[in-house]
Amino acid sequence: MREGGIILAGIMKEVIRAAEAGITTSELDRLAESLIFKYGGKPSFKGHEGYPAVLCTSLNEEIVHALPSSKKLKEGDVLSLDLGILYKGFHTDMAVTIPIGEVDFETKRLIKATRKALKRGIKKVRPQKSFGDVSNTIQRYAEDQGFSVVRDLCGHGIGRELHEEPQILNFGARGKGPKIKEGMCFCLEPMLTAGSWEIEKGKDGFSFKAKDNSLSAHFEHTLAVTADGCRVLTALA
């Protein structure tokens, strides 16, 4: 999984570099697929629960799982990229949110807060802590910044399967939930909106979007729990 995470992060960097105004999200999907095969992996998402693409490309009010399309990115868009690979029998999964060109101050603040909520959650990961400690840290930081945490979607265990137990909420109470144990691998993925936390299904049949059409952001890393904390397997060097 460490090897796969390094490969995945490298692929994500190349996709981020290509994501500019004028390119379509389908072109980004094709780029991601070609890079996955180039490095000896397989796409985790393609075919999973019927999903027909390699990359999730969620725009603006879309939160996760949006299908790539012929729609061109434009200046001022907010793009969330979510990608997973299967490498030597194990999955890794990560997501980032990026601005396309210049965006306003509040949009920058939303993206920064979501990234920082993930970092704060990661710092709480260590053996004998509860998952509630992690969830509570993410929620408190997000809400202190004036944003809402999506409650109907969550992080997850990962390994030989893309989605494994436990489910890891981005909200909750300290000390609640299962204990974190050395050797666990899972994904933390805070999803924040600038408005309400309520969501609804998108028109493509796969995506979820903010019900009030507010902007959203999403960051995710695959983590491995160690004796004294955790290792981020999908770190962007």
Q: What would the two tokens of residue 117 be?
A: 């909520």
pLDDT tens figures, 115-163: 999 999 999 999 999 999 999 999 999 999 999 999 999 999 999 999 9
Nearest to 94 by CA among 56, 58, 40: 56
91-120: average pLDDT: 98
pLDDT tens figures, 13-65: 999 999 999 999 999 999 999 999 999 999 999 999 999 999 999 999 999 99
DSSP label of 227? T
Look at residue 166 and tell me if it is in a domain: yes
By percentage, how much of the chain surpasses pLDDT 70? 100
Q: Tokens 């059409």 identify what position?
A: 213
| pLDDT attached to residue 52 | 98
CATH of the domain at 200: 3.90.230.10
> Which residue type is seen at 169?
L
154-174: average pLDDT: 97
Look at residue 33 and tell me if it is in a domain: yes
Look at residue 65 and tell me if it is in a domain: yes
Q: Tokens 């144990």 identify what position?
A: 181
Look at residue 237 and tell me if it is in a domain: no
Give CA–CA dist 32/52, Å, rounded: 14
> Residue 205 is part of which domain span?
2-232
Q: Tokens 């770190």 identify what position?
A: 235
Helices (runs of H) and strands (runs of E) counted in the chain: 4, 15
Look at residue 27 and tell me if it is in a domain: yes
As for how many domains the chain has, the answer is 1
Give CA–CA dist 65/46, Å, rounded: 11
Give CA–CA dist 13/216, Å, rounded: 21
The overall average pLDDT reported for the chain is: 97
pLDDT at 237 over 80: no
Give CA–CA dist 170/124, Å, rounded: 13
Q: Quote helix, strand, coil % in the chain, to nearest 5.
A: 30, 30, 40
Look at residue 212 and tell me if it is in a domain: yes
Give CA–CA dist 65/45, Å, rounded: 10
Look at residue 153 and tell me if it is in a domain: yes
Look at residue 174 and tell me if it is in a domain: yes
